[in-house]
Amino acid sequence: MAGIKFEIMTSGSCENQFRYLKGLIMILVKDNRCDFCGTCVAVCPVDAIELREADIAILDNCIDCDICVWVCPIEVLYSDKEEEVKHD
């Protein structure tokens, strides 16, 4: 679980961390692996992904629909739901 906490620290805002701690929804980013191609940004229905050349952030209005996770060509995005399944 330590890894997940670290990723929240680096890829989400304070409010998003709060939402995560309350057991609310969240998509996470594997650090240092994103190629910044923008495909997830293009399919996000609520414009909740912000991408700069060296930084990708999932914003607070994420609705956890997972389609960015599916479309990512290199599986850098993942859902905390999947992570919990793995840990169980």
Partner 1 sequence: MIDFDVIVVGGGPAGTMAAHAAASGGAKTLILEKDRDIGYPVRCGEAVSDQGLRQFVEPQPEWIAATITKIRMRSPNNTAIDFESKMAGYVLHRRIFDYALANRASQAGAEIQTRAYVDGLVIENDTVKGVKYQYMGENRTLSAKLVIAADGVESRVGRMAGLRTATKLYDMESAYQATVGNIDIDQEMIDFYIGENWAPGGYLWVFPKGNRMANIGLGVVGTKAKDYNSHDLIHNFIKTYYPKATMLTSVCGGVPVAQTLKHITANGIMLTGDAARMVNPVSGGGIISGMHAGKIAGEVSIEALKTGDYSTNGLEAYPRRWRKAGGKNHEALHRISDSIKDITDDQLNKIAAKLEKVPQKDRSLLKIFTTVATQKPKILLDVTRAFTGF
Instruction: Indicate the residue among 21 and 61 with the shorter CB distance to partner 1.
Output: 61
Phi, psi (degrees; rounded to nearest 5) at 71:
-80, -20
**C-alpha closest to that of 38 among 82, 8, 77, 83:** 77
Instruction: Indicate the residue among 6 and 66 with the shorter CB distance to partner 1.
Output: 66
The pair of structure tokens assigned to 12 is 């989400």
Phi, psi (degrees; rounded to nearest 5) at 66:
80, -5
* Min separation Cβ 82 and partner 1, Å: 11
Instruction: Indicate the residue among 15 and 35 with the shorter CB distance to partner 1.
Output: 35
* Min separation Cβ 28 and partner 1, Å: 17
What does the alpha-carbon distance between residue 78 and residue 57 come to, in Å, rounded to a whole number?
Answer: 13
The pair of structure tokens assigned to 17 is 């961390």
Residues in the site for partner 1, rule: CB under 8 A?
Answer: 35, 37-45, 47, 50-53, 67, 69-75
* Min separation Cβ 80 and partner 1, Å: 17
